[in-house]
Chains A and B, each alone.
Chain A
């Protein structure tokens, strides 16, 4: 063993060993607590990334100015591309790129499939654009030929329908910002972003190290994110430099989140549609209001949202649910603590808000709805995906890889890969909001479910802590889970929703069938 190697963080081994010890005696939740409690305050030394010159402060500021100017140029260019007149949308057919600079074809979507779909989708976009223009005019909002409106009509049934059918791409950034009440956020925080940029300019810590690891892995196939090769050397694109700033500022502004993988994708997509400062505030709004807890250190928010999705599946797609839940979970709600294996596939649906999960045009349609309708849209989209896959799932459902009730490999692949081929966003949206039992799912129901899941999980974790999971066998653990289950008819629970009366009856029937 070569003992000469010096590690940059010599205490890491001991530290993490302690953390492991915590975890072992405590059922798996303490390690993260340990890191949160002990790591944040400590200075974090790290290996200087290779080939990166350390800039002086003046150089940094100069390069910042330069990169902001070039960002404006890039965004004008993107704007122009997105903004192509509907009758010129055919230009996309000839290109290997879409309007946003992404490659049209990939492992899942063939070029001819994309073009076949685009031939129908482009005229649809043109039609929708005209309708939007009329709606704006009706509301006395002027739209200049090449400009994008910054104000949109007040909320209404009609507007919601329009949003569900897709916001014109060239208006998207402004519309998202408007619907998410970004202006208020910006007004309350004048100058904050610029100050953050200043403060984080020379910041190096574990977050910035993690950001550097992911920066060049964000949309590497997109022309705007690609490194520019000039005279044989790679130069970082303006958008990548901006993305670094936004993520660094965010990690400083939200220390309970810092940098979490998947934020790079969210921020990256925002930057295609919004300028730097507004993209930053949208990222803040998303993590505060739309997806609270999802990106926090212990990722507990992911588990909570997954729990809500499971409750929704059980309610609205009982056939799918009967494939999903492991047999041992059939009698109570213990799937809320020990999530079904299905949740392996759906983690990224919440964390990246479908970026990389579905084709980009489809993802953008989901984002339109998210910012107008709140997080319930994510659950409706998830349910719609499962509903679309239901026939294939049921076909595969009879094949179980083994009898401990774990889903077969084929099912996992279906759930993971099929959404990547979902080019036709209209089909998905219609499943979400028109044809399905869950089309009327309200934000209030989702909030109630969330509350129920949070309380149940907290209760379970407390019980586990008190009893100490050491030496507990499988049987005991199951008993503990059962005793942690909150009755659903508690006021905050699901019973308060009228659909849950139906849910309970239906569940009882399903359970009887299983038994």
Chain B
């Protein structure tokens, strides 16, 4: 019998980078042009099976505007996973992503699995040929990968619009979640402060982005 665990996941990132769209793609396999901004936060769930494990993702999708940042600790306080999202055509959103990673490492649970996600890959692509058009991106793959390597994050470039790599992000997170960190339905959570200086051994990204 497969084991079911629930994983609390939070999405962070600048406004309009596509956080809600990534969730909509993952949960409903849908895409909506001009998706309304999220006010406060939205809550969604999705089950997915990885090998013999069934994982129920409990997803908190947060508002991106700067002033909502002081509500964010409420959401990531108990999170086991985080998606830090930026828009690969917007350099400022990558700077913001860097800050979120830093804040998560300082404030969130030590075992939190973080995926760095560069979204809107579809904006780079020529719809005819499917090739990346030069000069369209503002954040290079190398920059994203370097940040991920530095901070021990999973790294993907995605497109919520074309569904590129979206399921892969969540699958990779599911694989990465340590058994004991994911909570079986009736087990108490581990509380207690974290040693920020402890070395992380989970460096390196599993997911190679398919671009």
Chain A residues with a Cβ under 8 A of chain B: 1-2, 5, 7-9, 12-13, 16-17, 20, 24, 28-29, 31-32, 35, 46-47, 210, 213-214, 216-220, 260-262, 264-265, 297-299, 302, 339, 341, 344-348, 351-352, 356, 401-404, 406, 409, 412-413, 416, 473-474
Contacts and interface: CB of A to CB of B under 8 A. Distances in A.
B40 A344 contact: yes
A46 B42 CA distance: 29
Given A20-B103, A220-B34, A344 B70 contact: no
Contacts of B188: 402-404
B122 to A, nearest CB: 15
A261 B37 contact: yes
B185 A210 contact: no
A341 B35 CA distance: 25
Nearest to A339: B74
A415 to B, nearest CB: 9
Please name the 9 residue pairs, one residue from A and one from B, whose CB atoms are nearest each other, closest first. A347-B40, A220-B34, A348-B39, A213-B16, A2-B140, A1-B146, A412-B43, A262-B39, A348-B40
B60 A344 contact: yes
A90 to B, nearest CB: 30
Interface stretch (B61-69, B110-118, B154-162, B170-178): B61-69
Contacts of A2: 140, 142-143
A24 B6 contact: no
**Residue of A9, A217, A403, A474 with most chain B CB atoms under a 10 A cut-off:** A217
Interface of B: 6, 15-16, 32-37, 39-43, 45, 56, 58, 60, 63-71, 73-75, 78, 90-92, 95, 98-99, 102-103, 106-107, 138-140, 142-143, 146, 183, 185-189, 191, 193
Given A32-B70, A298-B67, A402-B187, A416 B43 contact: yes
Given A216-B34, A347-B41, A402-B186, A35 B66 contact: yes
Given A261-B15, A261-B65, A298-B67, A351 B36 contact: no
B65 A210 contact: yes
Q: Tell which of B16, B32, B40, B58 has the most Cβ of chain A within 10 Å.
A: B40
A13 B34 contact: no
A240 B65 CA distance: 20
A221 to B, nearest CB: 9
Given A213-B16, A261-B68, A344-B41, A402 B95 contact: no
Given A2-B140, A220-B33, A409-B58, A16 B68 contact: no
A227 B57 CA distance: 36
A474 B77 CA distance: 13
A248 to B, nearest CB: 16
Contacts of A29: 70
A287 B52 CA distance: 52
Nearest to B68: A299
A351 B187 CA distance: 35
Contact of B92 (A7, A32, A262, A341): A7
A347 B63 CA distance: 11
B139 A5 contact: yes
Given A28-B73, A217-B35, A401 B92 contact: no
A260 B65 CA distance: 8
A484 B32 CA distance: 46
A31 B91 contact: no
A341 B138 contact: no
A50 to B, nearest CB: 8
A29 B70 CA distance: 7
A347 B70 CA distance: 13
Looking at A218, A261, A302, A341, which has the most chain B CB atoms within 10 Å of its CB? A261
A344 B74 contact: yes
